[in-house]
Every structure is written in C-alpha cells, then in structure tokens.
Amino acid sequence: MDFTMGKAGAELRAELRRLVPEHVPPDFLGAFTGDPADLDVAQRFCRTLAGRGLLCMAWPEEFGGRGASVWEQTVVREEMWAHHEPRGAQYMGVNWVGPTIMRHGTAEQRRRHLPPIARGEVIWCQGFSEPDAGSDLASLRTAARRDGDGWAVSGQKIWTSYATMAQWCFLLARTSTGERRQQGLTIFLVPMSDPAVEVRPIDCMMGPHHLNEVFFDGLRVTEADVLGTVDEGWKVVQEVLAFERVGIARYARCERLLQAAPDVLGEEWGGLPAELRGRWARMLTHCRRARLLAYRVVALQSRGTVRPGDAAAYRIAVTRLDQESAEVLMEIAGLAPPGGDAARRFRLAVEDHWRYSQAATVASGSIEIQRILLARALLTPDRAAS
C-alpha cells in the first residue's frame, strides 16, 4: 500500500504542508474555541485553499471544483485533520452537503448553494438529532406541516455543531407518517438567519460551537427549500451519513501526534516504560488499520456505491483509535520535559485530542449503532446492501 498515493499525492501533500504554517499560527488548535480570531484564521485559510483550487478538488469544474480524483481530496482531508482542521466547519460543506446537493438538488439549488461552498464562504450545520431521536434518528418529531403553498416547521434539534456560526442548516423533518418510521421524512435547506430559528449553546468540555440546541417555531419553508423528493429523505440521509463518517480523517491527527512524541521527549524517550512504548507502537499500527478501512470506503464511493457495513467498520476502528491513542498520548505528555515551545504545544495538542476523543463513540452515530450495522452487513449481506 502506497500511503503517499503516488507522485501527485506526495506533491499535493508537500504543498499543503507548506501552506499550513504560512497561513495558520503554530498554536492553532481549531476554529471552535472561545477566541473569534481562530474562526477568522479558518475562514481566511478556506479562501486561500479555494483560490488555489484545493478546497473542493474532487468536485466537477462546473460546480467550482477542478475534477480531481477522490484520492487527491483524501490527501487534503488527511492533512487538514492532521493539522487541527484549519478549514473549520467547511469540511461539512465540502465532504457531503455540497455533493448531496449535486446529486439530489434542483438546478436553482445548485446555483444558489454550491458556489459559496466552493469559495469557502458559507458554513453549514446538520439538523438531525433530537432529544428523543439520536441513534434512533428515524423517530424524530420535528414536523413540517402543509401550510398553503409551503410548510410550517416546528420542533427541536440538539447536539447541533456549528449552529452558532452557520448560515444554513441541512434539516430533516417529518412531513407524513407511514408504516415504517423511515417513511415520511423530508430534507429542507433552511437559512439560520430566519427569526423563527433560535440557537441555544450547550456548554461542554470541547468548548463553544460544538453542541447547541436549535428550536424551530413555525419556520416557513417552500418547495424551493426541499432537497430531493418529499417524504423520501431517509434514502438521502443514509447516503449522507456514510459520507460524513468517512469524511473525518481522525486517524491522521492520531498518527501525527504519535509520530511527534519521540522527538518531543528527546533523550527521555528511551526511559519510558517498555509497556508504554509498546502501546504507542500498537497505536501506530491501529492508525494504519483505520486508514486502510477509510480507503476502502473511499474506493467504494468513487464507484458510486457505499455499503453501510464498510462505513461502520471504519467508524468503529477510528473511534476506538481516538480514545485509546488519547490515553497513551496523555501518559506520554505527562512525562514530556516542562520547557520549550515544542513540548508545550505537544501537551496542548494532546489535551485537545483527549477532550475530543471522549465524544468519539457517540458522535455521528454511536459505536453501538455502528456495530449493529456491521453485524447486519456480515450476517445478512443482501439486506445490508439494500
């Protein structure tokens, strides 16, 4: 396996590694801190990437991309996550909101939404989970009821990342009832600036912007806001979740931090307990495993087929890697020498990684749900494929 993805991939990776230190401060730990300057850094860097044709590389040229391969886009994805995602929340628009609009949107929706995403100018949030509909998403209660020539949407979403900074929401609501809960769901593209939308932040250990409640009080939407077919949104959601789950290359950040540890500790590295160094080596092996599983899903996506079991296998591997590597890294960071910028930045990055890892097994579908999906794929492959 060539992890550089050939000469073109290696050159692209080198270009990105030059760009990041040129445009991103060395202490940057993501766009979602309490300091507005971090979001400004991310938004400027997105525009820089877009200006070089690097933000939406794999998009067709007609939609603002450059028709690159999904493997080149994967290089971008890995380098961004390895460096604390200096695109901020743009990965959501790039990885799945934009591609979903390409496949299911009207000509007007494509014209309206795709160019701003490709230019790195707009942030999206995802209106899926609810207080009583998290892993069991199909049981959601947010309702869109027919009202004249449109709908009135009322309900509540929760755990909505980036809702405080997003301009648009990819909203799933119930428009009718059927024999199965998955029937009668519809996707709406709605502006967060509408007065009928209220956002309430939820304090959490990961910092601001990550968790929010969103309330819809008689929000008016029209046919122009419907993505795809009314009542058939579940099919689109299944596709979206597969793209979302593989689109976050957490293994790249794990590997970068693990690889940095020996250099940060210097002479102290040889004095680490053999058991700890053994766990460190095991985590590097698990990074490669997660990467290979991600590449398997990328290959399937490039052929237009996404199997839930493959996406679930990747999610299980990468979320366990997140948490297990965080524990190893925290132990190593505690033994790092106290002085020097490199050691200080390493400790801060490891602490940031540990905080995020605590939510890894519930974000984007809990690990228990991923195990169910994988079990179905293994035990009933024909049913899982459908």
Q: Catalytic residue numbers? A: 244
Q: Which H or E element spans position 192?
A: none
Query: What span, in angstroms and rounded, lies between the C-alpha atoms of 201 and 114?
Result: 28
What is the rounded radius of gyration, in angstroms, for the C-alpha atoms of the chain?
21
Query: What span, in angstroms and rounded, lies between the C-alpha atoms of 340 and 359?
Result: 30
**Three-state secondary structure call for residue 23:** helix
Between β-strands 168-174 and 124-127, what pairing exists: parallel, antiparallel or unpaired? parallel
Query: What span, in angstroms and rounded, lies between the C-alpha atoms of 309 and 11?
Result: 33
Contact 70, 298 (CB under 8 A): yes
**Three-state secondary structure call for residue 167:** coil
Q: Which residues does residue 199 pair with via DSSP β-bridges, in sequence order? A: 214
CA atoms within 13 A on the CB side of 302: 15
Contact 225, 190 (CB under 8 A): yes
Would you state the structure tokens that stand for residue 137, as one six-digit string?
Answer: 């998403």
Q: Which residues does residue 153 pair with via DSSP β-bridges, in sequence order? A: 144, 219
What distances in angstroms separate CA 75 from CA 95, 253, 290, one per listed residue?
13, 13, 15
Query: What span, in angstroms and rounded, lies between the C-alpha atoms of 98 and 55?
Result: 12
Nearest to 68 by CA among 158, 5, 125: 5
